[in-house]
């Protein structure tokens, strides 16, 4: 099938402005507007065009650019959107306001522009008569980079819309109107096309970046193989693998957009792709991040939390497979940061990103099992008041009264979440250590909850995970150390590999536990076998495929919490219809006493319509322009 796209004769080189302190990041700052006539005359001009291909990458490290932050159910916002989050349009999806006339986060019209730029680059740079001062080795690398970017942009569309038009080449300007009216391609064909393009890119890409002063952020072979792994896991998942809801979804020519038959072989392919990605990453020295220590004296408890927190925020750390350096805005950290001192500046520490109670409940107990399975700990009354002890002082303020839900939890709970009575260690600790450091006070009228409209936390749980420990919030000032966004990290690949292995086999296999337990060891909780055998009221859960499926889902939900992954996972698993039709709840944040504050309150009743809401709507106007298109089911 010949897949085509509207051609362009000129391209506007996008300008991506970087902060002056970030000189080590990929520079994608074309210095002017170029035309096709001169863009490929010399290497210096062609390189600008290469960086333009990068400039369309989603800004997933920003509050407004990452659809997964506020589009689902793991982060909620104040009722009144003010200040820096006014552009967080993904939230309207979470509120149930998606529509066909002007879809929120519409990429159907945006991403094809990036693909056209990539096609133009490839058409010219693969022509050896162009860019004569470009060496063959560098030419091959550049081609591999843009092949990857072209594949990734297709993947972004596929994940959102399902079947898409595959735009392998630009349509010439003299094409007839009928040639411009492209059709959507069956889902499995799209997957094959993207997978093959990633394979072609991978063999041309370097194993790692050696020129770290200038090239950090450019793609490598491990990145290409990792995106292929994510693509094939997605394709093997229930939403796209034999989904009966899409059995009648056909193109205008009658071709089925999805296979109605479940294929176990897709999970085998996904497992192989995940293993290849893991091997490529570990082969160049990547490993789960561990906090190396600091000049100040810290407890082992705090060091464990720093290993968890800094896996996200420590720049270019050992776990970072792909870092996006186009998302270095300070707003994300400020939107997550709570006020930790009396008289603190709430205009610089907004605390607006809030985790619903369901996310606080998702984390394990200190024994490494779900709170409703732990046979040694009673979580039947989450609001029960309890006072922090001396032994708990690195998690909860000593002698501070807070809720039962906040006690006896795993280290990731305390590393990821800030809450009333919770310790929030930062580099500028007033004591110079983690003894007697910051303790959040978030009841109404306390400094962590001053009631400023729009600048408050809706549920009582702050997203500590996304705030670098060097963030300085004092009575008079705030400063931010930027970090590149971890678009892919090694822990994600370990989890994907375990999931693919579990689905590809009739029962759990040893290798699943190997990779899951690496993550759990870093998190400071027992291995799966030990935890469930000794602490769970369902001690054989990990011995069955179904039980391990539930464990792996919860492991992903915890380890990747607040990174935007949950939004896509709930969709590909077809779990969104259940979990996104539940109320968003939080503590009673307008109350000033512990007894009244720690009462659950409904914030919002979400609504998710299946199968409609699993895929994005194509904007209605597109059907007027192109009658060969078909709309997604339910829209």
Mean pLDDT of residues grouped by 10 in the chain (635 residues)?
A: 32 30 39 66 96 95 93 92 65 95 95 97 97 97 98 98 96 82 96 98 97 94 98 98 96 95 98 98 98 92 98 96 83 90 76 96 98 98 98 98 98 98 95 96 90 80 96 66 94 98 97 98 98 98 98 98 98 98 97 97 97 98 95 97
Q: Which contiguous run of DSSP H or E holds residue 150?
A: helix 136-161
What is the pLDDT at residue 1? 41
Burial class (CB in 10 A: 0-12, 13-18, 19+), 253: exposed
What is the pLDDT at residue 84? 47
CA distance 191 to 158: 8
Name the CATH topology of 4-57+65-91+106-285+616-625: 1.25.40
* Total-model pTM: 0.93
- Which residues of the chain form CATH 1.25.40.390? 4-57+65-91+106-285+616-625, 288-563+575-609
* Rama region for 550: left / alpha / beta (φ>0; ψ in -120 to 50; rest): alpha
Tokens of 14: 């996008």
Tokens of 192: 């094959």
Which one of 3.40.630.10, 1.25.40.390, 1.10.275.10, 3.40.50.300 gives the CATH number of domain 288-563+575-609?
A: 1.25.40.390
**What is the β-pairing status of strands 320-324 and 385-387?**
unpaired
What is the pLDDT at residue 481? 85
What is the pLDDT at residue 480? 77
Tokens of 542: 């990990």
Give strand pairing partners of 76.
Answer: 354
CA distance 115 to 630: 21
């Amino acid at each position: 099938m010949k897949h085509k796209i509207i051609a362009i004769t000129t391209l506007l080189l996008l300008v991506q402005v970087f902060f002056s302190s970030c000189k080590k990041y990929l520079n994608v700052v074309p210095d002017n507007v170029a035309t096709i006539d001169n863009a490929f005359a010399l290497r210096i001009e062609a390189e600008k065009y290469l960086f333009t291909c990068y400039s369309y990458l989603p800004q997933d490290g920003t509050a407004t650019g990452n659809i997964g932050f506020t589009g689902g159910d793991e982060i909620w916002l104040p009722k009144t959107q003010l200040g820096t989050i006014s552009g967080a349009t993904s939230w309207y999806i979470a509120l149930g306001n998606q529509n066909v006339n002007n879809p929120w986060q519409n990429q159907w019209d945006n991403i094809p522009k990036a693909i056209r730029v990539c096609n133009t680059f490839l058409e010219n740079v693969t022509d050896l008569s162009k860019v004569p001062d470009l060496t063959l080795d560098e030419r091959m690398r550049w081609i591999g980079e843009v092949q990857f970017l072209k594949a990734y942009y297709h993947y972004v569309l596929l994940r959102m819309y399902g079947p898409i038009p595959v735009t392998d080449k630009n349509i010439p300007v003299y094409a007839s109107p009928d040639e411009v009216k492209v059709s959507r391609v069956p889902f499995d064909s799209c997957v094959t096309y993207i997978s093959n393009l990633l394979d072609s890119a991978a063999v041309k890409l370097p194993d790692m970046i050696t020129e770290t002063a200038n090239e950090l952020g450019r793609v490598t072979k491990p990145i290409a193989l990792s995106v292929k792994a994510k693509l094939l896991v997605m394709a093997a998942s229930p939403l796209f693998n034999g989904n009966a809801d899409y059995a009648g979804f056909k193109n205008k020519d009658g071709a089925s957009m999805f296979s109605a038959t479940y294929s176990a072989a897709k999970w085998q392919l996904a497992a192989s792709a995940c293993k290849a990605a893991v091997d490529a990453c570990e082969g160049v020295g990547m490993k789960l991040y561990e906090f190396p220590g600091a000049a100040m004296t810290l407890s082992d408890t705090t060091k464990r939390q720093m290993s968890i927190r800094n896996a996200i925020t420590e720049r270019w750390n050992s776990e970072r497979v792909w870092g996006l350096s186009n998302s270095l805005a300070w707003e994300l950290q400020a939107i997550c940061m709570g006020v930790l001192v009396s008289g603190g500046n709430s205009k610089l520490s907004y605390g607006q990103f809030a985790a619903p109670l369901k996310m606080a409940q998702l984390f394990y107990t200190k024994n490494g099992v779900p709170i409703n399975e732990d046979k040694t700990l009673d979580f039947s009354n989450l609001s029960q008041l309890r006072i922090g002890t001396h032994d708990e002082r690195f998690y909860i303020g000593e002698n501070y009264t807070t809720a039962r839900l906040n006690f006896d939890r795993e280290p990731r709970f305390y590393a990821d979440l800030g809450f009333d009575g919770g310790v929030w260690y930062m580099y500028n600790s007033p004591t110079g250590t983690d003894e007697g450091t910051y303790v959040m006070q978030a009841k109404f009228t306390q400094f962590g909850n001053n009631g400023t409209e729009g600048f408050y936390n809706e549920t009582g749980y702050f997203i500590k995970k996304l705030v670098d420990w060097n963030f300085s919030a004092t009575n008079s000032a705030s400063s931010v150390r930027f970090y590149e966004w971890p678009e892919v990290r090694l822990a994600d690949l370990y989890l994907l590999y375990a999931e693919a292995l579990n689905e590809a086999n009739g029962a759990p296999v040893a290798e699943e536990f190997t990779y899951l337990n690496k993550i759990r060891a870093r998190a400071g909780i027992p291995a799966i076998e030990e935890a469930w055998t000794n602490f769970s009221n369902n001690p054989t859960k990990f011995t069955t495929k179904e039980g391990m499926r539930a464990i792996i889902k919860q492991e992903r939900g915890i380890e990747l919490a607040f990174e935007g992954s949950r939004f896509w996972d709930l969709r590909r698993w077809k779990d969104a219809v259940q979990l996104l039709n539940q109320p968003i709840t939080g503590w009673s944040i307008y109350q000033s006493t512990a007894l009244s504050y720690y009462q659950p309150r409904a914030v919002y009743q979400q609504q998710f319509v299946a199968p409609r809401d699993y895929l994005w709507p194509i904007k209605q106007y597109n059907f007027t322009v192109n009658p060969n298109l078909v709309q997604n089911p339910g829209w």
